Structure 1
């Protein structure tokens, strides 16, 4: 069988087929790096005038999960910095602080994440700063803990404030959540809050996430199925302010997961990839929504890559309906169109209107309520935990309208 030639250069034997197109190594690297640099266009080296020195580089935080996509992004950014330094006599348009949230206290991995970060620090310290944040630090920060539980820790909590700070995340939070989908949601919220805190401490303007196009497509459908459809646009768009003035950026948004994995293997970065030792369940009824979506997009991205692209590009065109909203979910941080509990009360009229009385609900501001605001997705998720929340449960609210 005759080996295929690269479709781009038509001179070298192909080593990978992506989106039904054969690539040689050089063309494949250029193809993917071009997609990353397209998203990083605002971070070129700029000069105020022809005789002035370059402007100070932006400080960016890279959320390094040590998965294939985030490591692929790390390698691309390092190569990007090398090119800028070579072209502009050592000047760069940005600097990177790579932060890994170590979940090993609650999850087991094939390698020690701290050891991997130390290896990366030793190898690339001249281009990037690496930092490890333990997930247990979440419990040691009372401000973050209050944000997560959105409780007044002096009056509401599932244990006393002092006891809580000395216990582990696993025994005090995640173990209290029975539903696996809700547990993943809470873990994502903890990691996101720790990353935002790190970005603030490093004076970073943006958090760079290594989410591939496949991962973003999974998130679009996941948010929709969890009742967070209004947050789809703001959750996957670039330059959206997430929390405390920190914006998000997805430089890998046009690169598929399989392409990132192939790129990591080419760059010999596979040695840094860590994977959980506990695999997701194979029984459908035990899988989480995210597990199902990972399997779905893994199956179709090889044969039908346009489907993955269509999901993400369609979501990009959605209007951010929450842009003008001042209501923010106390748990996941997304903006809410309205307070869900109030909405549930107002969609049903429990008594007939008197003559001349309007059936329209009276306008009340959620800001006057002492209860924390939860989006519909978090309202459902918290119902599967054994936390003591200072609010009525969803079942209690719905029970008022039973006939």
Structure 2
């Protein structure tokens, strides 16, 4: 049975309000449009039930409201999350004499050039935000080039014994896309992009004074992350990557919350249709390959869950997510942290890799084998006694897996613990919007 079933029988009544005609069946109940919208909005309120998100007359009057950063990619889930939060603040203003429980700062990471998006997310936001007036919501678009700190760029290589080396490079100019194009495959690029996005959003929250970051991840997306992180060798970080948690950035604690985690993607997609949000969705124009080996790990797992939903096994996502939630942090003592992604390292990954792999070639025994080796090294511009330069750095098992196959002199360059300096490619506030509107206001002397 699919997660959402549309009702064609006009005589079926909503089981919640018992007044309007039901239009769909979800979670074994018939719902009318308004009751279904309230069902989805109620899931968000359950996840954000802390006092700091509720009406506080003292804080509201003194301007000390909690600031919530909403990560918006332009996809269905993030737009639904923005709509749910906007309607909550609108309801608070209407029932509490113009007061609201928290403020929203919408942040979009500019992926238009990277993913060949069919529209500008800023344009979609400009059309959506007026829905929530008089609630004031500002949005900012951050360039991914903000992650490129030229002074932190290093050429990274991995030796045969899985030691990781970093050699500083002198680069006068470089874009984030230039760096990402050096990745071995699409899954590696996707993994590094995820790390970059999380760090940039934490930095943005810190600069904007936000105590909370909310993501639009659904139950389906969370289950996808559990499997994808396992495949990518990041099992030790599953417990923190899928659960509501608190991150420390510099001297500030920032809560990370997934308000839609109790809802399947099919349920979110239905909400978007009923709320007329589908026309604002921004999608990539890159046609995904039908060949599995050309897809990223997340794409493969996403297709898996889509097929489960289509065949009536959508509850599998819930099972996977619940299993992932039972995981905790390793009980071992923290040795160090990864210089690439920042996760804690509990056990030296080199020792583990040496026990499960054979990375050294068989010894050369014949002249013919020696001749072939020399031909190979000549073709790859290597020397059999070539030493790899650089300082040893600590990388976690997941990052070593991501950089699998990288060797010296192949040109893979990446920032090591960069000093982030956010670059805003687009910034809109209520003041800016009013200035634009004033330009179109005709005076008594104009026709």
TM-score (norm 2): 0.72
Partner of 2:322: 313
Q: Does 1:189 align with 2:195?
A: yes
Deviating more after overlay: 126-135 vs 298-307: 298-307
Quick one: which of 211, 230, 237 aligns to 2:217?
211
1:309-388 to 2 correspondences below 5 Å: 309-321=318-330, 325=334, 327-341=336-350, 343-344=352-353, 371-385=392-406, 386=410, 387=412
Question: What is the distance in 1 between the residues matched to 2:244 and 2:214?
Answer: 10
Question: What is the distance in 2 between the residues matched to 1:373 and 1:210?
Answer: 32
2:105 alignment partner, SS class? strand
Q: Conserved in 1, the CA contact under 8 Å of 2:76 and 2:278? A: yes
Higher relative contact order (CA 8 A, sep 6+): 2
Partner of 1:109: 117
Partner of 1:250: 258
Quick one: which of 288, 294, 303 aligns to 2:302?
294
Question: What is the distance in 2 between the residues matched to 1:191 and 1:256?
Answer: 23
Quick one: which of 115, 133, 140 aligns to 1:131?
140
Question: What is the distance in 2 between the residues matched to 1:230 and 1:148?
Answer: 26
1:34-49 to 2 correspondences below 5 Å: 34-42=42-50, 43-46=53-56
The higher radius of gyration belongs to: 2
| Structure 2 gap ranges (5+) | 1-7, 158-165, 358-390, 417-447
Q: Conserved in 1, the CA contact under 8 Å of 2:69 and 2:210? A: yes
Question: What is the distance in 2 between the residues matched to 1:381 and 1:309?
Answer: 28
| Structure 1 gap ranges (5+) | 349-369, 392-403
Query: How big is the shift at 1:80?
Result: 1.0
Over residues 155-192 of structure 1, what are the superposed CA-to-partner deviations in whole Å (9 max), with x where a residue is unaligned?
Answer: 834x523x2xx332222x11111211111111112222
Partner of 2:242: 236
Q: Does 1:89 align with 2:97?
A: yes
Query: How big is the shift at 1:81?
Result: 0.8
Partner of 2:39: 31
* Residues 147/5 of structure 1: CA separation in 2 closer, same or farther (3 Å cut): farther
Over residues 377-403 of structure 1, what are the superposed CA-to-partner deviations in whole Å (9 max), with x where a residue is unaligned?
Answer: 111111245426899xxxxxxxxxxxx
Q: Conserved in 2, the CA contact under 8 Å of 1:328 and 1:336? A: yes
Aligned residue-pair number: 357
Partner of 1:79: 87
Query: How big is the shift at 1:311?
Result: 1.3
2:106 alignment partner, SS class? strand
Over residues 340-376 of structure 1, what are the superposed CA-to-partner deviations in whole Å (9 max), with x where a residue is unaligned?
Answer: 135556999xxxxxxxxxxxxxxxxxxxxx6332221
2:167 alignment partner, SS class? coil
Question: What is the distance in 1 between the residues matched to 2:350 and 2:97?
Answer: 58
Query: How big is the shift at 1:12?
Result: 2.5
* Residues 229/148 of structure 1: CA separation in 2 closer, same or farther (3 Å cut): farther
Over residues 216-257 of structure 1, what are the superposed CA-to-partner deviations in whole Å (9 max), with x where a residue is unaligned?
Answer: 000001111111111111111102316444331111110111
1:109 alignment partner, SS class? coil
Question: What is the distance in 1 between the residues matched to 2:332 and 2:282?
Answer: 37
* Residues 373/65 of structure 1: CA separation in 2 closer, same or farther (3 Å cut): same
Question: What is the distance in 2 between the residues matched to 1:78 and 1:375?
Answer: 39
Question: What is the distance in 2 between the residues matched to 1:72 and 1:389?
Answer: 34
Q: Conserved in 2, the CA contact under 8 Å of 1:97 and 1:130? A: yes
- Please give the root-mean-square deviation of Cα atoms over the aligned residues, in Å: 3.1
Over residues 46-93 of structure 1, what are the superposed CA-to-partner deviations in whole Å (9 max), with x where a residue is unaligned?
Answer: 3679xx968832111111111110110100101111122223322222
Query: How big is the shift at 1:2?
Result: 3.1
Question: What is the distance in 2 between the residues matched to 1:133 and 1:228?
Answer: 27
Quick one: which of 66, 73, 83 aligns to 1:65?
73
* Residues 167/322 of structure 1: CA separation in 2 closer, same or farther (3 Å cut): farther
Over residues 117-149 of structure 1, what are the superposed CA-to-partner deviations in whole Å (9 max), with x where a residue is unaligned?
Answer: 34345555743111111222322x458x66998
* Residues 259/242 of structure 1: CA separation in 2 closer, same or farther (3 Å cut): farther
Quick one: which of 168, 174, 182 aligns to 2:180?
174
1:2-41 to 2 correspondences below 5 Å: 2-3=9-10, 4-41=12-49
Looking at secondary structure, tell me which structure has more strand per residue.
Answer: 2
1:41 alignment partner, SS class? coil
